[in-house]
Amino acid sequence: MKIAQRMSAMKPSATIGMKVKADELKKQGKSVLSFAVGEPDFPTPDNVIEAAKAAMDRGETKYTAGSGTTELKEAICAATQRDLGLQYSPSQVVVSNGAKHSLMNIAQVMCDPGDEVIIIAPYWVTYPEQVTFTGANPVVVETHASDDFQPDLSAVRSAVTGRTVSIILNSPSNPTGCVYEREVIEGIAEIAVEHDLAIISDEIYKHIIFDGAEHVSPATLGDEVKERTILVDGVAKTYAMTGWRIGWMIGPETFVKRAGALQEQATACPNSIAQAATVEALNGPQDSVEEMRAEFERRRDFVVERLREIPGVTCATPRGAFYAFPDISEHYGRTLGGREITGSLEMSEYLLEEALISLVPGSAFGADDYIRLSFATSMEDIDGGLSRFKAALE
Ligand SMILES: *Cc1c(COP(=O)(O)O)cnc(C)c1O
């Protein structure tokens, strides 16, 4: 059967790939400890579950408006006002099947073949894939653990060409846990204004921040920046709702309307019950958000301390999200368990097969010197897993 040209570059998700391999070993009865998943290990809060049940009982089981219910858009605007102090109207919101879907809609509405989109590495695996799918080209700007993964503004500036249409920011970052400093966001915003670029700001981890670090959304830097910024967020990480599939974009009405039209043709609307549940997540009590955040911070401290005890491993301190991104490249070139470790993929395979711990190779995020370890798992598993990790490298 014919397969379209544009599919030729699309790779399956590396994070999901690691999960499949780990599941196979588990089926063989092996006790694999997983640090590969990118989702909170907490249950969805009860009030949200109850709201979903109530929505079903009320018969809210039919199509909604393509871009989401007015009630949910109003709740999203209120939450954005509460969290960022920004005023938006419901007509500036499109609710989608997860923030990933919002990002896909943005890429489709924004990019023509040959356009360029600046992406900061280490990047979330999905960004370059979505950009490439439109025929546009990702232009990668690297960052390093030695700078705490803060982007270098002159490197960002040098990446801009006449074809650049936008820059994607993700702070707090998956996979590094880096929270961009105010000066960095301001500098990037200045470059965007100067070169007439859109800023796509993926703020899905904005509630998971440690050490009192400041979350700066570019949209808060004045009207000139707000008008060129599209905020992307969702309930997956903040409320442990990955499976509910609700995310959104907020931005200029002319752009957002097009995304709504695209979505109507692609998927009619997001799930009606999940939308009702999301209204409760946003408007209801927020205690569970702080409880989860505090627990992630406790685990972060433990993970970083234990990683730094392993010879040849260095780790920048994650200030947000729930990932550590240690540099393990000092071990490259060694032969471990009868195999030569030439990069992060071989290291991940070695650690999975010999130490029975699953992690995601940094190569998936455009940074082969590292591996990503999610601490969205119990302290007990973190403790056991890091002991295995250490033993496997000794
Ligand atoms: C998890 C994640 C998302 C997407 O979340 P959805 O489940 O699609 O709402 C978006 N961006 C980053 C960086 C993520 O880690």
Pair 242, 384 in one domain? no
Alpha carbon 272 to chain centroid, angstroms: 24
Residues 311, 345: Cα–Cα separation, whole Å:
20
| Ligand 1 center to 266 CA (angstroms) | 20
Q: Which among 226, 247, 225, 228 is positioned nearest to 236, based on CA atoms?
A: 247
Residue 53 lies in a domain: no
Pair 229, 124 in one domain? yes
Pair 157, 69 in one domain? yes
Domain termination site, one of 283, 312, 331: 283
Residue 374 lies in a domain: yes
Pair 64, 184 in one domain? yes
**Cβ–ligand 1 contact at 170 (below 6 Å):** yes
Residue 54 lies in a domain: no
Q: What is the pLDDT of residue 328?
A: 97
Residue 52 lies in a domain: no
Residues 41, 295: Cα–Cα separation, whole Å:
11
Q: Which domain holds residue 269?
A: 60-283
Pair 122, 256 in one domain? yes
Pair 189, 218 in one domain? yes
**Cβ–ligand 1 contact at 372 (below 6 Å):** no
Q: What is the pLDDT of residue 145?
A: 95
Report whether 330 contacts 312 (CB < 8 A): yes
Q: What is the mean pLDDT of each run of 10 residues along the chain (394 residues)?
A: 89 74 89 90 96 98 97 98 98 98 98 98 96 97 96 98 98 98 98 98 98 97 98 98 98 98 96 98 97 97 96 97 98 94 94 94 96 95 96 93
**Cβ–ligand 1 contact at 37 (below 6 Å):** no
Residue 51 lies in a domain: no
Report whether 175 contacts 37 (CB < 8 A): no
Pair 148, 267 in one domain? yes
**Cβ–ligand 1 contact at 75 (below 6 Å):** no
Domain termination site, one of 237, 267, 283: 283
Pair 218, 166 in one domain? yes
- What count of Cα atoms within 13 Å lies in the side-chain half-sphere of residue 118? 28
The two tokens of residue 313 are 């491993």
CA max distance for the chain: 62
Domain termination site, one of 253, 283, 313: 283
Pair 208, 307 in one domain? no
| Ligand 1 center to 313 CA (angstroms) | 28
Pair 130, 225 in one domain? yes
Could you tell me the CATH number of the domain that includes residue 87?
3.40.640.10
Domain count, the chain: 2
Pair 193, 313 in one domain? no
Report whether 296 contacts 319 (CB < 8 A): no
Residues 104, 68: Cα–Cα separation, whole Å:
17
| Ligand 1 center to 231 CA (angstroms) | 13
The two tokens of residue 269 are 């609307």
Pair 218, 325 in one domain? no
Residue 145 lies in a domain: yes
**Cβ–ligand 1 contact at 248 (below 6 Å):** no
Q: What is the pLDDT of residue 14?
A: 67
**Cβ–ligand 1 contact at 242 (below 6 Å):** yes
Which atom of ligand 1 is nearest to 247's Cα? 9
Could you tell me the CATH number of the domain that includes residue 309?
3.90.1150.10
Question: pLDDT for 385-394, tens place per residue?
Answer: 999 999 999 8
pTM: 0.96
**Cβ–ligand 1 contact at 202 (below 6 Å):** yes
H-helix segments, the chain: 14-27, 46-57, 70-84, 99-110, 126-133, 153-159, 182-194, 223-226, 253-267, 272-283, 287-308, 344-355, 379-393
Mention every residue, 6+ apart, whose C-beta is less than 8 A from residue 95.
67, 68, 69, 72, 73, 76, 246, 247, 248, 270, 275, 278
β-sheet bridge partners, residue 167:
118, 199
**Cβ–ligand 1 contact at 247 (below 6 Å):** yes
Residue 151 lies in a domain: yes
- What count of Cα atoms within 13 Å lies in the side-chain half-sphere of residue 201? 28
Which of 76, 95, 100, 275 is the best mutation target for the ligand 1 pocket, counting ligand atoms within 8 Å of the beta carbon and taking the most? 100
Q: Which among 344, 6, 389, 386 is positioned nearest to 175, based on CA atoms?
A: 344
